[in-house]
Amino acid sequence: MFKKIFKRSILVLVLSVIFFLSSCTEFQSSQKEQNKIENQITNTVVNYENITIDDLENCIINTTNMLENSVIGITLKANYSTIIFGRPVQSEDTESIGSGVIYKRIENKNADGVITSYTYYAVTNRHVITGSNSNYTYKVYAYLGYEDIEIEAKIIGYDSKVDMAVIAFDHTTLIQPVEFADSDEVEKGQLVIAIGNPDGYDYYGSVTFGVVSGELRYISDDTDGDNINDFNATYIQHDASINPGNSGGGLFTIDGKLIGINTLKIISDDVDNMGFAIPSNVIKSLIENYIEKGVDIERPTLGITGSNVRELTNAQIVSSGLLEIPDIYGSDRAYGIYVVSVTSDGSLSESGVKKDDIILTFDGEKLTNMNVLSSKLNTLTEYFIGSEVEITYYSRSQNKVVTETIVLK
């Protein structure tokens, strides 16, 4: 998973100044009356004079303590047979170590209604629980660092595209699951805390600090190993320090709500601290609608190949055998997706969209980048197979802009 981008995790606690204020009042009720600072997520000016370093520090400490048992280790072990010095040996060796976040607890009771144990569900990265050798048998273990125990876990399911997976394990200790936040409400500049296991369990539960660098980023990835990027995904960018071993951790608000599962980082001599988290809304949708139900994950596609109109130069248009861009934008800057081809099984196969048409809007939004549109369809948070969506496009055959409703397939 190394190339320019490597997949590592983190448990990142995102603290916005807004959430910081409200959460501090929860954690420090004695200061509730004296810190009457309000921000209605409008243009209201916050009086920062009343915020002290101690307030911020206490919030971070309290939230970290609240989450320390919910952020766990995930160990992947390979079981194999070999010959060493002429002797047959059956061994179980650790192949990788990552992180995970407990999000669900189920009580297990005996016939008398007494709780005997709990079943915990944790979300992590797919690559954390995936072995590299097809000749080995693998087992996944949940590592609870503050009890220093390993518990064999069961893989509930995973997504072959988005780098996430769900495991479950039974235990007798009571652990508080985390709560999902609405990742659509994340804002650039929110403070974040990362909690995870960098470089293994010697540094279990390490904490780092940063901010949300970008609330919405779109990145292409090669998900089938053929060295061709075939999947576009949506991420939250942040600068909290992440390292190998953090994979599968989360991104949290100051009051401990999960807004993302961290999964990759850009590595370069010229780039530093660019980490990315899968938004919690994506994780929640995949868990609730597919993985926990055992339903195959299928995503809608438009069924076209296309080019971004803004990126087409006259030279590219001529050399690629495309038709010239029509004069339909008035004073606006050109936008849309130039349709190069239409497949027979996509969402647009039964629409009026044809080769050389230009798709202008999708569900009311102007289209400027094919990857952004693909990423939105891939999140499975707003659009699903069967969803009806209104599009507008320039029709070459009719020489006008047409509005049509399509059903996603």
* pLDDT tens for each residue of 126-154: 999 999 998 899 999 999 999 999 999 99
The pLDDT assigned to 230 comes to 86
Question: Residue 243: its pLDDT value, please?
Answer: 86
Domain annotation covers residue 289: no
| Distance separating alpha carbons of residues 180 and 79, to the nearest angstrom | 35
215 within some domain? yes
Residue 400 domain boundaries: 304-407
| Other CB atoms within 10 Å distance of the CB of residue 280 | 31
Q: What is the pLDDT of residue 47?
A: 60
Task: Out of 116, 136, 171, pick the residue that ends a domain.
Answer: 171
347 and 396 in a common domain: yes
3-state secondary structure at position 346? coil
Asked if residue 177 is part of any domain, the answer here is no
> In CATH, what number is assigned to the domain containing residue 351?
2.30.42.10
User: Is the pLDDT reported for residue 312 higher than 70?
Assistant: yes
pLDDT of 157 > 50? The answer is yes
Going by their DSSP bridges, the two strands 250-252 and 12-15 should be labelled as parallel
Which residue in the list 55, 159, 163, 357 is annotated as catalytic?
163
pLDDT over threshold 80, residue 23: no
Q: What is the pLDDT of residue 300?
A: 96
Out of 99, 183, 247, 307, which one is annotated catalytic?
A: 247
**Could you tell me if 61 and 190 lie in one domain?**
yes
Specify whether 122 is located in the same domain as 152: yes
> 42 pLDDT band (50/70/90 cuts)?
very low
Query: Can 238 be counted among the known catalytic residues?
Result: no
Whole-number pLDDT of residue 40: 38
CATH number for 84: 2.40.10.10
| Averaged pLDDT score across all residues of the chain | 87
Q: Are residues 204 and 215 in the same domain?
A: yes
What's the rounded Cα separation, in Å, for the pair 317 and 304?
Answer: 18
In a shared domain, residues 60 and 75: no
| Statement to judge: residues 43 and 190 lie in one domain | yes
Residue 287 lies in a domain: no
Confidence band of 51 (pLDDT split at 50, 70, 90): confident
Determine whether 269 is exposed, middle or buried from the number of CB atoms within 10 Å of its CB (0-12, 13-18, 19+): exposed
Do residues 194 and 230 both lie within one domain?
yes
Select from 137, 171, 205 the last residue of a domain: 171
Burial of 388 (0-12, 13-18, 19+ CB in 10 A): exposed
Residue 273 pLDDT exceeds 90: no
236 vs 27, more confident: 236
The answer to whether residues 15 and 96 belong to one domain is: no
297 falls within a domain: no
Question: Which range among 32-46, 178-192, 222-236 shows the weakest confidence by mean pLDDT?
Answer: 32-46
**116: pLDDT confidence band, cut at 50, 70 and 90?**
very high
- The domain tally of the chain equals 3
197 and 155 inside one domain: no
Question: Would you state the structure tokens that stand for residue 361, as one six-digit string?
Answer: 């809007």
Q: State the pLDDT at residue 306.
A: 95
pLDDT bucket at 4, cuts 50 / 70 / 90? very low
**Catalytic residue flag (residue 280):** no
- Let me know if residue 322 belongs to a domain: yes
Which is more confidently placed, 60 or 13?
60
The arithmetic mean of pLDDT across residues 237-251, rounded, is: 89
pLDDT digits (tens, 9 = 90+) for 168-209: 999 999 999 999 999 999 999 998 888 888 888 999 988 888
Q: Would 133 be classed as within a structural domain?
A: yes
Q: Is the pLDDT of residue 25 over 70?
A: no
Predicted confidence band of residue 108 (pLDDT cuts 50, 70, 90): very high
Pairwise CA distance, residues 104 & 304, whole Å: 39
| Res 19 pLDDT > 60 | no
65 with 24, same domain? Answer: yes
Last residue of a domain, one of 112, 146, 171: 171
The answer to whether the CB of 387 falls within 8 A of the CB of 377 is no
Mean pLDDT of 358-373: 96
What mean pLDDT is predicted for residues 85-93? 92
- Ranking 108-112, 142-146, 200-204, 357-361 by mean pLDDT, the lowest is 200-204
Residues 195, 276: one domain?
yes
- Nearest-CA neighbor of 409 among 351, 338, 348, 343? 348
pLDDT band at 46 (very low <50, low <70, confident <90, very high): low
| Residue 138 located in a structural domain | yes
Residue-level pLDDT at 48? 61
Q: How far is CA 83 from the centre of its chain?
A: 42
In angstroms, rounded to a whole number, what is the distance separating the alpha carbons of residues 60 and 62? 6
> What value does the mean pLDDT take over residues 371-398?
96
| Lowest-pLDDT choice from 21-35, 154-168, 271-285 | 21-35
User: For the chain, what percent of residues have pLDDT higher than 90?
Assistant: 70
Return the residue matching tokens 């690559």.
127
Q: Known catalytic residue: 163?
A: yes
- Say whether both 130 and 263 belong to one domain: no
How far is it, in rounded angstroms, from Cα 153 to Cα 77? 11
From residue 6, alpha-carbon distances to 100, 206, 264, 377 in Å are 18, 20, 5, 24
pLDDT at 11: 33
From 23, 99, 127, 238, active-site residue: 127
